[in-house]
Amino acid sequence: MVVIMKRGTAQAEIDKLTNELIAKGVEVSPVVGTDLVILGLVGDTTKIDDNWLEANRNVERVQHISEPFKKANRMFHPEDTVVDVCGQKIGGKRLAVIAGPCSVESEEQICGIAQEVKELGANLLRGGAFKPRTSPYAFQGLKYQGLELLKKAKEKTGLPIVTEIMAPHDIEVFERDVDLIQVGARNMQNFDLLRELGHIRKPILLKRGLSATIEEWLMSAEYIMAGGNENVVLCERGIRTFETYTRNTLDLSAIPAVKKLSHLPVVVDPSHATGKWWMVESLARAAVAVGADGLIIEVHNDPANALCDGQQSIKPKVFGELMEQLRPIAQALGREL
Protein backbone atom coordinates (compact mmCIF):
# COMPACT_ATOMS: atom_id res chain seq x y z
CA MET A 1 0.00 0.00 0.00
CA VAL A 2 1.17 3.52 -0.84
CA VAL A 3 -0.11 6.67 0.83
CA ILE A 4 0.37 9.77 -1.30
CA MET A 5 0.42 12.95 0.77
CA LYS A 6 -0.93 16.28 -0.43
CA ARG A 7 1.60 18.79 -1.70
CA GLY A 8 2.78 21.18 0.99
CA THR A 9 1.88 18.92 3.93
CA ALA A 10 3.86 19.95 6.99
CA GLN A 11 6.51 17.53 8.19
CA ALA A 12 4.88 17.42 11.61
CA GLU A 13 1.67 16.09 10.06
CA ILE A 14 3.62 13.49 8.05
CA ASP A 15 5.43 12.37 11.22
CA LYS A 16 2.13 12.14 13.11
CA LEU A 17 0.52 9.92 10.47
CA THR A 18 3.70 7.82 10.22
CA ASN A 19 3.62 7.13 13.96
CA GLU A 20 -0.05 6.20 13.80
CA LEU A 21 0.64 3.74 10.99
CA ILE A 22 3.60 2.19 12.82
CA ALA A 23 1.33 1.74 15.85
CA LYS A 24 -0.94 -0.36 13.62
CA GLY A 25 1.91 -2.79 12.99
CA VAL A 26 3.30 -1.81 9.60
CA GLU A 27 6.70 -0.50 8.54
CA VAL A 28 6.64 2.92 6.88
CA SER A 29 9.16 3.77 4.15
CA PRO A 30 8.94 7.45 3.18
CA VAL A 31 9.82 8.55 -0.36
CA VAL A 32 10.52 12.27 -0.42
CA GLY A 33 10.38 13.98 -3.79
CA THR A 34 10.71 17.62 -4.81
CA ASP A 35 7.00 18.32 -4.47
CA LEU A 36 5.57 15.06 -3.22
CA VAL A 37 5.91 12.75 -0.23
CA ILE A 38 4.85 9.11 -0.49
CA LEU A 39 4.58 6.73 2.46
CA GLY A 40 5.18 3.12 1.46
CA LEU A 41 3.59 0.63 3.88
CA VAL A 42 5.25 -2.77 4.28
CA GLY A 43 3.74 -5.58 6.30
CA ASP A 44 0.19 -6.72 7.03
CA THR A 45 -1.78 -3.82 5.56
CA THR A 46 -5.11 -5.64 5.92
CA LYS A 47 -5.42 -3.95 9.30
CA ILE A 48 -5.25 -0.50 7.69
CA ASP A 49 -8.64 0.91 6.74
CA ASP A 50 -8.52 2.86 3.46
CA ASN A 51 -11.41 5.04 4.61
CA TRP A 52 -9.54 5.98 7.78
CA LEU A 53 -6.55 7.04 5.74
CA GLU A 54 -8.52 8.94 3.13
CA ALA A 55 -10.36 10.81 5.89
CA ASN A 56 -7.06 12.41 6.84
CA ARG A 57 -7.05 15.90 5.30
CA ASN A 58 -3.36 15.57 4.43
CA VAL A 59 -3.77 12.41 2.34
CA GLU A 60 -4.21 12.87 -1.40
CA ARG A 61 -5.01 9.24 -2.16
CA VAL A 62 -4.27 5.63 -1.23
CA GLN A 63 -2.94 3.18 -3.79
CA HIS A 64 -2.58 -0.58 -3.40
CA ILE A 65 0.47 -2.34 -4.81
CA SER A 66 -0.41 -5.55 -6.63
CA GLU A 67 3.15 -6.94 -6.67
CA PRO A 68 4.13 -8.92 -3.55
CA PHE A 69 7.60 -7.35 -3.44
CA LYS A 70 7.55 -4.00 -1.64
CA LYS A 71 11.05 -2.80 -0.79
CA ALA A 72 12.31 -3.76 -4.25
CA ASN A 73 9.32 -2.04 -5.88
CA ARG A 74 9.91 1.13 -7.88
CA MET A 75 6.66 2.56 -6.51
CA PHE A 76 8.30 2.72 -3.08
CA HIS A 77 11.60 4.01 -4.44
CA PRO A 78 11.15 5.96 -7.72
CA GLU A 79 14.84 6.82 -8.08
CA ASP A 80 17.32 4.21 -9.32
CA THR A 81 19.38 2.65 -6.55
CA VAL A 82 23.15 2.94 -6.87
CA VAL A 83 25.12 0.34 -4.93
CA ASP A 84 28.59 1.32 -3.77
CA VAL A 85 31.22 -1.44 -3.72
CA CYS A 86 34.41 0.00 -2.24
CA GLY A 87 33.94 3.21 -4.21
CA GLN A 88 32.89 1.45 -7.43
CA LYS A 89 29.28 2.28 -8.27
CA ILE A 90 26.77 -0.16 -9.75
CA GLY A 91 23.64 1.49 -11.11
CA GLY A 92 24.92 4.97 -11.87
CA LYS A 93 25.97 6.60 -15.10
CA ARG A 94 29.16 4.56 -15.33
CA LEU A 95 28.71 0.91 -16.29
CA ALA A 96 30.22 -1.64 -13.94
CA VAL A 97 32.45 -4.31 -15.49
CA ILE A 98 33.15 -7.36 -13.35
CA ALA A 99 35.78 -9.61 -14.95
CA GLY A 100 37.93 -12.55 -14.05
CA PRO A 101 38.13 -16.35 -14.18
CA CYS A 102 35.30 -18.71 -13.31
CA SER A 103 37.53 -20.34 -10.69
CA VAL A 104 40.58 -19.27 -8.73
CA GLU A 105 43.29 -21.78 -9.63
CA SER A 106 46.57 -20.35 -8.34
CA GLU A 107 48.13 -17.11 -7.11
CA GLU A 108 49.89 -16.57 -10.43
CA GLN A 109 46.68 -17.14 -12.38
CA ILE A 110 44.33 -14.89 -10.38
CA CYS A 111 46.83 -12.08 -9.84
CA GLY A 112 47.89 -12.09 -13.49
CA ILE A 113 44.33 -11.99 -14.82
CA ALA A 114 43.34 -9.34 -12.26
CA GLN A 115 46.15 -7.07 -13.44
CA GLU A 116 45.26 -7.55 -17.09
CA VAL A 117 41.50 -6.94 -16.76
CA LYS A 118 42.14 -3.86 -14.63
CA GLU A 119 44.43 -2.38 -17.29
CA LEU A 120 41.74 -3.09 -19.91
CA GLY A 121 38.99 -1.30 -17.97
CA ALA A 122 37.38 -3.71 -15.49
CA ASN A 123 36.54 -2.16 -12.13
CA LEU A 124 35.70 -5.30 -10.11
CA LEU A 125 37.32 -8.75 -9.98
CA ARG A 126 35.30 -11.97 -10.11
CA GLY A 127 36.67 -15.36 -9.20
CA GLY A 128 35.08 -18.49 -7.78
CA ALA A 129 36.56 -19.84 -4.56
CA PHE A 130 33.61 -22.12 -3.77
CA LYS A 131 32.16 -23.75 -6.88
CA PRO A 132 28.67 -25.30 -6.86
CA ARG A 133 28.84 -28.00 -9.54
CA THR A 134 26.23 -30.35 -10.96
CA SER A 135 28.61 -33.29 -10.56
CA PRO A 136 30.09 -34.07 -7.12
CA TYR A 137 33.24 -35.25 -8.93
CA ALA A 138 33.89 -31.93 -10.70
CA PHE A 139 36.35 -29.32 -9.40
CA GLN A 140 34.69 -27.69 -6.40
CA GLY A 141 37.07 -24.74 -6.02
CA LEU A 142 39.96 -23.98 -3.69
CA LYS A 143 37.49 -22.76 -1.04
CA TYR A 144 39.16 -20.75 1.77
CA GLN A 145 42.54 -20.90 0.06
CA GLY A 146 40.84 -19.38 -2.98
CA LEU A 147 39.56 -16.51 -0.84
CA GLU A 148 43.09 -15.82 0.38
CA LEU A 149 44.34 -15.72 -3.22
CA LEU A 150 41.55 -13.30 -4.17
CA LYS A 151 42.65 -11.05 -1.31
CA LYS A 152 46.21 -11.11 -2.67
CA ALA A 153 44.92 -10.11 -6.11
CA LYS A 154 43.02 -7.24 -4.51
CA GLU A 155 46.17 -6.10 -2.68
CA LYS A 156 48.09 -5.97 -5.96
CA THR A 157 45.40 -4.33 -8.11
CA GLY A 158 42.94 -2.57 -5.79
CA LEU A 159 40.01 -4.29 -7.54
CA PRO A 160 37.10 -5.15 -5.20
CA ILE A 161 36.41 -8.88 -4.89
CA VAL A 162 33.24 -10.58 -6.17
CA THR A 163 32.79 -14.25 -5.26
CA GLU A 164 30.01 -16.70 -4.49
CA ILE A 165 28.82 -17.78 -1.07
CA MET A 166 27.35 -21.25 -0.59
CA ALA A 167 26.19 -21.53 3.01
CA PRO A 168 25.04 -19.34 5.93
CA HIS A 169 27.91 -20.54 8.13
CA ASP A 170 30.39 -18.72 5.85
CA ILE A 171 28.72 -15.31 6.16
CA GLU A 172 31.12 -14.04 8.83
CA VAL A 173 34.14 -14.86 6.63
CA PHE A 174 32.55 -13.36 3.52
CA GLU A 175 31.49 -10.22 5.37
CA ARG A 176 35.10 -9.72 6.39
CA ASP A 177 36.89 -10.68 3.16
CA VAL A 178 34.53 -10.17 0.20
CA ASP A 179 33.38 -6.83 -1.22
CA LEU A 180 30.37 -7.97 -3.30
CA ILE A 181 28.89 -11.27 -2.11
CA GLN A 182 27.41 -13.31 -4.94
CA VAL A 183 24.40 -15.56 -4.45
CA GLY A 184 24.42 -18.04 -7.33
CA ALA A 185 21.47 -19.21 -9.40
CA ARG A 186 21.18 -22.47 -7.45
CA ASN A 187 20.88 -20.54 -4.17
CA MET A 188 18.48 -17.83 -5.35
CA GLN A 189 15.71 -19.46 -3.30
CA ASN A 190 17.86 -20.59 -0.39
CA PHE A 191 15.73 -18.49 1.92
CA ASP A 192 17.72 -19.26 5.08
CA LEU A 193 20.83 -17.90 3.36
CA LEU A 194 18.96 -14.85 2.02
CA ARG A 195 17.54 -14.02 5.46
CA GLU A 196 21.01 -14.13 7.04
CA LEU A 197 22.45 -11.93 4.28
CA GLY A 198 19.73 -9.43 5.12
CA HIS A 199 21.34 -8.92 8.53
CA ILE A 200 24.65 -7.65 7.14
CA ARG A 201 25.37 -4.52 5.11
CA LYS A 202 27.75 -5.88 2.50
CA PRO A 203 26.40 -5.54 -1.06
CA ILE A 204 24.81 -8.68 -2.48
CA LEU A 205 24.87 -9.79 -6.13
CA LEU A 206 21.74 -11.92 -6.61
CA LYS A 207 21.74 -14.13 -9.69
CA ARG A 208 18.46 -15.20 -11.26
CA GLY A 209 17.55 -18.84 -10.67
CA LEU A 210 17.63 -21.45 -13.42
CA SER A 211 13.87 -21.34 -14.03
CA ALA A 212 12.86 -18.35 -11.93
CA THR A 213 10.23 -15.87 -13.02
CA ILE A 214 11.00 -12.19 -12.67
CA GLU A 215 8.62 -11.97 -9.72
CA GLU A 216 10.32 -14.89 -7.95
CA TRP A 217 13.69 -13.24 -8.55
CA LEU A 218 12.50 -9.95 -7.07
CA MET A 219 10.91 -11.77 -4.14
CA SER A 220 14.31 -13.31 -3.37
CA ALA A 221 15.75 -9.78 -3.33
CA GLU A 222 12.90 -8.87 -0.99
CA TYR A 223 14.06 -11.53 1.48
CA ILE A 224 17.43 -9.79 1.74
CA MET A 225 15.98 -6.28 1.83
CA ALA A 226 13.35 -7.18 4.41
CA GLY A 227 16.18 -7.98 6.81
CA GLY A 228 17.56 -4.47 6.43
CA ASN A 229 20.21 -4.91 3.73
CA GLU A 230 19.06 -2.90 0.72
CA ASN A 231 22.40 -3.10 -1.11
CA VAL A 232 21.23 -5.61 -3.71
CA VAL A 233 22.38 -5.94 -7.32
CA LEU A 234 20.42 -8.26 -9.61
CA CYS A 235 22.14 -10.44 -12.22
CA GLU A 236 20.48 -11.94 -15.30
CA ARG A 237 22.51 -15.03 -16.25
CA GLY A 238 20.17 -16.93 -18.51
CA ILE A 239 17.25 -19.21 -17.75
CA ARG A 240 16.54 -22.84 -18.59
CA THR A 241 14.28 -23.34 -21.61
CA PHE A 242 13.66 -26.12 -24.13
CA GLU A 243 16.66 -24.91 -26.18
CA THR A 244 19.87 -26.89 -25.67
CA TYR A 245 22.23 -25.26 -28.16
CA THR A 246 23.35 -22.75 -25.53
CA ARG A 247 23.96 -23.48 -21.87
CA ASN A 248 21.00 -21.27 -20.95
CA THR A 249 18.77 -18.77 -22.74
CA LEU A 250 19.77 -15.18 -22.01
CA ASP A 251 16.61 -13.22 -21.25
CA LEU A 252 17.49 -9.69 -22.35
CA SER A 253 13.84 -8.67 -22.02
CA ALA A 254 14.24 -9.10 -18.26
CA ILE A 255 16.41 -5.98 -18.05
CA PRO A 256 13.77 -3.41 -19.16
CA ALA A 257 11.11 -5.42 -17.31
CA VAL A 258 13.01 -5.23 -14.02
CA LYS A 259 13.85 -1.58 -14.64
CA LYS A 260 10.11 -0.87 -14.88
CA LEU A 261 9.19 -2.88 -11.80
CA SER A 262 12.16 -2.20 -9.52
CA HIS A 263 14.74 0.42 -8.62
CA LEU A 264 17.54 -2.14 -8.14
CA PRO A 265 20.51 -2.17 -10.55
CA VAL A 266 20.74 -5.07 -13.02
CA VAL A 267 23.88 -6.57 -14.53
CA VAL A 268 24.17 -9.30 -17.18
CA ASP A 269 26.39 -12.39 -17.29
CA PRO A 270 26.66 -13.44 -20.96
CA SER A 271 29.33 -16.03 -20.15
CA HIS A 272 27.12 -18.31 -18.02
CA ALA A 273 24.11 -17.50 -20.15
CA THR A 274 25.54 -19.01 -23.32
CA GLY A 275 28.35 -21.32 -22.27
CA LYS A 276 30.12 -20.35 -25.51
CA TRP A 277 32.99 -17.88 -25.55
CA TRP A 278 32.29 -16.69 -29.10
CA MET A 279 28.81 -15.48 -28.14
CA VAL A 280 29.97 -13.37 -25.20
CA GLU A 281 30.89 -10.28 -27.20
CA SER A 282 27.60 -10.07 -29.14
CA LEU A 283 25.42 -10.53 -26.07
CA ALA A 284 27.52 -8.17 -23.95
CA ARG A 285 26.94 -5.46 -26.57
CA ALA A 286 23.22 -6.25 -26.63
CA ALA A 287 23.00 -6.14 -22.82
CA VAL A 288 24.48 -2.65 -22.70
CA ALA A 289 22.18 -1.52 -25.51
CA VAL A 290 19.08 -2.76 -23.68
CA GLY A 291 19.96 -0.87 -20.50
CA ALA A 292 22.01 -3.15 -18.24
CA ASP A 293 23.97 -1.40 -15.48
CA GLY A 294 26.97 -3.62 -15.94
CA LEU A 295 28.45 -6.92 -17.12
CA ILE A 296 30.09 -9.98 -15.61
CA ILE A 297 32.59 -11.43 -18.05
CA GLU A 298 34.65 -14.58 -17.57
CA VAL A 299 38.24 -13.94 -18.60
CA HIS A 300 40.97 -16.59 -18.48
CA ASN A 301 44.56 -16.50 -19.72
CA ASP A 302 44.42 -20.15 -20.87
CA PRO A 303 40.76 -21.20 -21.39
CA ALA A 304 41.67 -24.55 -22.97
CA ASN A 305 43.25 -25.67 -19.70
CA ALA A 306 40.91 -23.92 -17.25
CA LEU A 307 39.74 -26.07 -14.34
CA CYS A 308 36.17 -24.80 -14.79
CA ASP A 309 34.09 -23.39 -17.68
CA GLY A 310 36.97 -22.70 -20.05
CA GLN A 311 34.60 -23.02 -23.00
CA GLN A 312 32.78 -19.85 -22.01
CA SER A 313 35.81 -17.77 -21.04
CA ILE A 314 37.42 -15.20 -23.30
CA LYS A 315 41.11 -14.30 -23.35
CA PRO A 316 42.33 -10.91 -22.09
CA LYS A 317 42.99 -9.73 -25.66
CA VAL A 318 39.36 -10.41 -26.64
CA PHE A 319 38.18 -8.73 -23.46
CA GLY A 320 40.14 -5.61 -24.40
CA GLU A 321 38.57 -5.59 -27.85
CA LEU A 322 35.12 -5.98 -26.31
CA MET A 323 35.67 -2.99 -24.02
CA GLU A 324 36.47 -0.85 -27.06
CA GLN A 325 33.29 -2.04 -28.79
CA LEU A 326 31.16 -1.25 -25.75
CA ARG A 327 32.27 2.37 -25.30
CA PRO A 328 30.35 3.89 -28.25
CA ILE A 329 27.22 1.92 -27.29
CA ALA A 330 27.40 3.22 -23.74
CA GLN A 331 28.04 6.76 -24.98
CA ALA A 332 24.99 6.61 -27.29
CA LEU A 333 22.88 5.87 -24.20
CA GLY A 334 24.39 8.67 -22.15
CA ARG A 335 26.52 6.32 -20.08
CA GLU A 336 30.23 5.78 -19.54
CA LEU A 337 32.56 2.80 -19.50
pLDDT in tens, 50-107: 899 999 999 999 988 878 888 999 988 889 999 999 999 999 999 999 999 999 999 9
The number of distinct structural domains making up the chain is 2
- Domain interval for residue 58: 2-63
SS3 at position 96? strand
**pLDDT above 80: residue 132:** no
What is the amino acid identity at position 87? G
Average pLDDT rounded to a whole number, residues 310-322? 95
For residues 194 and 223, the answer to whether their CB atoms sit within 8 Å is yes
Report whether 1 contacts 39 (CB < 8 A): no
Residues 183 and 280 in one domain: yes
Q: Is the pLDDT of residue 304 over 80?
A: yes
Percent of the chain with pLDDT strictly greater than 90: 80
The pLDDT assigned to 137 comes to 67
CA-nearest of 183, 102, 187 to 146 is 102
Residues 87, 193, single domain; the answer is yes
pLDDT over threshold 80, residue 336: yes
* β-bridge partners, 98: 124, 296
Using an 8 Å Cβ cutoff, are 273 and 252 in contact? no
- For residue 91, give the DSSP letter: S
Q: CA-CA distance, 95 to 251, in Å (whole number)? A: 19
Residue 62 backbone phi and psi in degrees, to 5: -115, 135
pLDDT of residue 202: 96
Question: In this structure, what is the dihedral angle of CA atoms 322, 323, 328, 330, given to the nearest 10 degrees?
Answer: 110
* 6 and 88 housed in the same domain: no
Q: Which pLDDT does position 241 carry in this prediction?
A: 95
Compute the average pLDDT of residues 140-165.
Answer: 94
Q: Is 49 helix (H, G, I), strand (E, B) or coil?
A: coil
Residues 42 and 137 in one domain: no
Mean pLDDT of 303-320: 91
Q: Which residues pair with 180 in a beta bridge?
A: 162
The reply to whether 226 and 283 lie within a common domain is yes
The neighbouring-strand residues paired with 294 are: 96, 267
Tell whether 57 and 88 lie within a shared domain: no
Residues 39 and 161 in one domain: no
* Closest residue by Cα to residue 255 from 311, 333, 319, 327: 333
57 and 87 co-located in one domain: no
Domain contains 164: yes
**Predicted structure pTM score:** 0.88
Amino acid code (one letter) for 214: I
Rg (CA), the chain: 21
- How high is the pLDDT of residue 136? 75
Q: What is the pLDDT of residues 222-266, one digit of tens each?
A: 999 999 999 999 999 999 999 999 999 999 999 999 999 999 999
* 319 shares a domain with 206: yes
* Residue 147 and residue 222 share a domain: yes
- On average, the pLDDT of the chain sits at 93
Residue 71 falls inside a structural domain: no
User: For the domain that residue 210 is a member of, what is the CATH number?
Assistant: 3.20.20.70
